[in-house]
Structure 1
Amino acid sequence: MTTRRLPRGFTLTELMVVMVIIAILASIAVSAYGTYITRAKVQAAKADLTALALNLENELQRNLVYGTHSNITTRAIEAAYKGWVPSQANYFTYILNSSATTYTLTAQGLGGSLATCELKLDSTATGSLSGNCASITAW
């Protein structure tokens, strides 16, 4: 009596189908991850603006006026407000305009997916976003 052996293993076609499925899932995952990272950078920039606003409010409490600044950018802001260190300085340029009674803070995206993203916060605690900020539409 002869016994028949069943073939073992996978065919090349089966392996190729699995590879294509894995490639499709990987491309979806990489795209979703990139969007997630961009959204996280925007949220961190919002936190940076809020922290800077707290420094300005602290200055108002101590001096009864805000410092007067005209279009100073990230490094000059860090020098003027030692307690503020932006976590997203590699991805956003921060701009401060202030008078004795008001201020406007701006974070502008530097490039890539954040190139057109702009966040603003003013002395009335009104925040706004414009441009492409990774589908974040509200402050």
Structure 2
Amino acid sequence: MAYAVLLSLTLVLEQTLNCDYQYLILSEKQQIASLFDEVSFLQDFLDNSSQKNIKTVECLESHIRDAAYKTEDIIESHMTDRVHEESASPTFFHKLEKVMEEIDSIKKMLEKIEDKSNFQDQQQQIRSMVTVGKSTVVGCDDDLL
């Protein structure tokens, strides 16, 4: 479910970035582009998360989904306001900054999960190599004495 919400948000961000620039000022465009990169990271992570991480990622899905919904609401509301008035709303930057912090926090948690998974994979590979090394020596102890 989180992936579908991220996909919807990606479409909203793309449409916003490709809209007529009379509705966006440069700093808004930069902030939305930065947000697009963060959302793309989350999508890629969900696409590529290993089977081992599924349980852990499922715990974060509600956070991802909620942050994506909030972000989409903020962007759509702001664009509606911008069409009806000419000035940028100062609350837009504040709201977007808060949701970007939330997304960044989720991103950091996902990176920790991935790092932990990679560490566990490396540990398993080392154990396998040690086990293989031991199995080739098993039964030869008497010969070595």
Question: When the two structures are superposed, what TM-score results if normalisation uses the length of structure 2?
Answer: 0.35
Greater share of residues in strand: 1
| Higher radius of gyration, 1 or 2 | 1
Greater share of residues in helix: 2
Q: Which has the higher contact order (CA 8 A, sep 6+)?
A: 2
Question: When the two structures are superposed, what TM-score results if normalisation uses the length of structure 1?
Answer: 0.37
